[in-house]
Structure 1
Amino acid sequence: MVVVVILFFIICPIVGYFFYKQLRQKAKPATIVGEFVFIGLFIIAAASFCLGWLFNADDYYAAIDPVDGGYTPFASKHLPTLIVFFLLAFFGLFKLWLKGRSLPPLLFSLCVVFVIMGIPISLAVIFQTGHNTEQRDETFLFAALPFFYIVTSITVLFKIVSAEAVAASSKTYRNKFLNYLNQKLTKTETQPLWIFLMLVPVFVIVVAILMLFGQDANSITKVFTETTTWNFSQKTHPPFLDHKGHYLCTVAVCGTPNVVKPLRLGKRHGHEIIVNRQLLIANAFEELIQEKWPKLHQIIRAFYDRYGYPLSKKINTAKGSNFVYRIMKPLEYTFLIVLYLCCIKPEEKIAKQYT
């Protein structure tokens, strides 16, 4: 399985590069490589954004165990508005990147407007996710995607506007009115005004369409404010739930018996659980770390509480449990080696777990 994953991450970029090379046949090789690397970073940023969202997905009105995850920075009720604006922004950016001024005039204008609308929304996302009152460590995962969008948008827009200004300055029209408009548009100091005049009606039209599908007129602001624990949040959340303490190793025991090899029943916090050797070794290793290096144990436990438990909730099938059991095998052997190096009677320590 590990080999398959490694091959996937090796083959995908290679195939993606050749596919992108076909799309950009007219571009220089250095440009193609640079753009492809940038796209790769963009994809990584998007993946980190999704990962951060995965661990912070609950709405403000839900009572949660903070170990499970956190509250979402974007209100679910108004999320369609944010998604639509981002899709339009990325669509416009993609079109302008590939086609530039060769797009039809109306589509070109709309793409520019969509891209510009995405910039303040991206800034709002950065500010919204920049701080969490619960001091969760995943906040940095949200910043990369909107930051990359802003940088890319400004770069593409600057390139297009500069090229268009040069081209327009050399054009003349027989019609005096058209010639007058052309000269006005070539002046960089007036360009922001023209862009603003186009932004307002397009924004209003998009909002009006979204309202037909149940969104509010101010959903673009409510998506940030109707949240809790984030910068623009204006809601409070219910008291946190007590931590229940089901972990990844315990979930792995729920797999197919001939794979995970359950040994016996054990007791954890007064409840009976099924244990296997992998779980016993992992718990014995944790106990050893707690005894010998308590500060290191606190760091490991905090990390495991934050990531292991939320992940375990996603694994609720026999196949998933079997997969977890197998990928934890290297860790199991590592824990066992450490136990045999540091304990006088390692097997006794392992056997007494959950008794």
Structure 2
Amino acid sequence: MTSIIFLLLLIPILVFFIFKNIRQSVSTPTRIAEFIFITLFVLSLLLFSFIWALNSADYYTPIDIVDGGYSPFASQHILTLLVFFGLSIWAIFALWLKGNKLPPVLLVLSLVFLTIGTAISFAVLLQVSSNTEANDISIFLVPLPASYILISIVLGFKIVRNEVEISSARMYKNKFLNYLNAQMAKTSLQPVWVLALLVPVFILVVSILILFGQDYNSITKVFTETTTWQFSQKTHPPFLDHKGHYLCTVAVCGNPKVVKPLRLGKRHGHEIVVNRQLLIANAFEELIQETAPHLHKMIRNSYDKYGYPLSKKITTPESSNLVYRLMKPLEYFFLLVLYCCCSKPEEKINKQYSI
């Protein structure tokens, strides 16, 4: 949530920065075109922030699929991503507004952060391009990294081309400086100078971030310690489906040695983890629905009213273990009813949530 607030605060600052420093040194049509393009970029940032706010849960958090989805970025490592993102945005606006008029050190740093931002944007673009649970939202996350990549390429080529022209006309009395300037003026060597500073600047920023509690490899973990996205390497807990067994479902999120998960199952198109307690509870509900639909409706309405809010407060393995143990007497009662009313109770239990 802190990262979302950071992005939302960044948007009005960027808009103010645009209006305050809008360039006057270019023709009116060019200035209008640039302003429209940058404004669209800011709007894509706003859209990204809004969609991210709706899908901001970490991979280890049980969620209801109707309340949102899992975040494409790990909150534990998000500071690293936000710092590089902020520096990349600074580079874009510094180069757009000042260009080659920037002091030499700031010009080189701007190009370095522009390059780093482009690489990270490619990673973000790939990350948000695929979501196993909510593919329909991915399209709203794509414009921000895609527009950054486009802006950075156009802006980078423009700055390098202008710098080549300036360097070609610049002369020094010192032969060594004149030689360096001549080398800098060569178009083929321009990327080399940026790449030469890319690694040390990146290492310097990462070193500073380590002092603030980030890992040395947070820039990769921010993508991999997630679930349902392209680079995700984690498995999420069972969904708290609004049509499911809330308490039995969260109980599966406990310690595997306690709750004894059996297999994967599917509920309303989503993959979930199931144990015997959840299978028995669902088989019992199915039996009630078949034999007494009106009673089932009353029980379901009452359970939806009280069970779901309670299940959302159960977010740790310890609390899930407790729920599992508290549900044991009900599990035995459900099992007794199934064995009394079904000719093949185990078959009915085992077919629940089958894939």
Identity among equivalent positions (%) equals 53
- Residue in 2 that maps onto 1:207: 206
Q: Are 1:140 and 2:139 an aligned pair?
A: yes
- Residue in 1 that maps onto 2:302: 271
- Residue in 1 that maps onto 2:127: 128
- Deviates most, 21-30 or 77-86: 21-30
Which secondary structure does the structure 2 equivalent of 1:114 belong to?
helix
Give the alignment of 1:316-331 within 5 angstroms.
Answer: none
Q: Are 1:160 and 2:159 an aligned pair?
A: yes
Which secondary structure does the structure 2 equivalent of 1:234 belong to?
coil
* RMSD of aligned residue pairs (Cα, Å): 2.6
- Residue in 1 that maps onto 2:42: 43
- The runs of 5 or more residues in structure 2 that have no matched partner are 1-14, 245-297, 306-311, 313-355
- Residue in 2 that maps onto 1:53: 52
Runs of at least 4 residues off by over 4 Å: none
1:40, CA displacement in angstroms? 2.1
Query: What code does the residue aligned with 2:91 have?
Result: G
- Write the distance in 2 (CA, Å) between the matches of 1:212 and 1:171: 42
- Residue in 1 that maps onto 2:107: 108
- Write the distance in 1 (CA, Å) between the matches of 2:195 and 2:303: 65
Which secondary structure does the structure 1 equivalent of 2:142 belong to?
helix
Task: Give CA-to-partner distance per residue, 1:233-291, whole Å, 9 cap, x none.
Answer: 0111111113169xxxxxxxxxxxxxxxxxxxxx89423999xxxxxxxxxxxxxxxxx
- Write the distance in 2 (CA, Å) between the matches of 1:273 and 1:194: 62
1:199, CA displacement in angstroms? 0.6
- Deviates most, 207-216 or 131-140: 131-140
Which secondary structure does the structure 1 equivalent of 2:33 belong to?
helix
- Write the distance in 2 (CA, Å) between the matches of 1:224 and 1:61: 14
Task: Give CA-to-partner distance per residue, 1:209-231, whole Å, 9 cap, x none.
Answer: 00000000000000000001111
Give the alignment of 1:177-196 within 5 angstroms.
Answer: 177-196=176-195
Task: Give CA-to-partner distance per residue, 1:149-195, whole Å, 9 cap, x none.
Answer: 11111111111100110121122222111111111111122222211
| Contact 1:88/1:114 (<8 A) preserved | yes
Task: Give CA-to-partner distance per residue, 1:36-90, whole Å, 9 cap, x none.
Answer: 2112211221122112212211000011111111110000000000000000000
- Write the distance in 2 (CA, Å) between the matches of 1:160 and 1:178: 21
1:21, CA displacement in angstroms? 8.0
- Residue in 2 that maps onto 1:86: 85
Distance 1:171 1:74, change over 3 A: same
Q: Are 1:98 and 2:97 an aligned pair?
A: yes
- Write the distance in 2 (CA, Å) between the matches of 1:69 and 1:195: 41
- Write the distance in 2 (CA, Å) between the matches of 1:213 and 1:22: 33
Distance 1:119 1:172, change over 3 A: same
- Write the distance in 2 (CA, Å) between the matches of 1:268 and 1:106: 70
- Write the distance in 1 (CA, Å) between the matches of 2:235 and 2:113: 33
- Write the distance in 1 (CA, Å) between the matches of 2:38 and 2:25: 18
Query: What code does the residue aligned with 2:150 have?
Result: V
1:197, CA displacement in angstroms? 0.8
- Residue in 1 that maps onto 2:116: 117
- Write the distance in 2 (CA, Å) between the matches of 1:163 and 1:114: 19
- Residue in 2 that maps onto 1:250: none
- Residue in 1 that maps onto 2:339: none
Task: Give CA-to-partner distance per residue, 1:289-308, whole Å, 9 cap, x none.
Answer: xxxxxxxxxxxxxxxxxxxx
Task: Give CA-to-partner distance per residue, 1:307-351, whole Å, 9 cap, x none.
Answer: xxxxxx9xxxxxxxxxxxxxxxxxxxxxxxxxxxxxxxxxxxxxx
- Residue in 2 that maps onto 1:249: none
- Residue in 2 that maps onto 1:302: none
| Contact 2:168/2:185 (<8 A) preserved | yes
| Contact 1:78/1:219 (<8 A) preserved | yes
- Residue in 2 that maps onto 1:72: 71
| Contact 1:112/1:157 (<8 A) preserved | yes
- Write the distance in 2 (CA, Å) between the matches of 1:167 and 1:95: 18
- Write the distance in 1 (CA, Å) between the matches of 2:31 and 2:184: 32
- Write the distance in 1 (CA, Å) between the matches of 2:140 and 2:70: 15
**What count of residue pairs does the alignment treat as equivalent?**
240
Distance 1:22 1:157, change over 3 A: closer
Which secondary structure does the structure 1 equivalent of 2:184 belong to?
helix
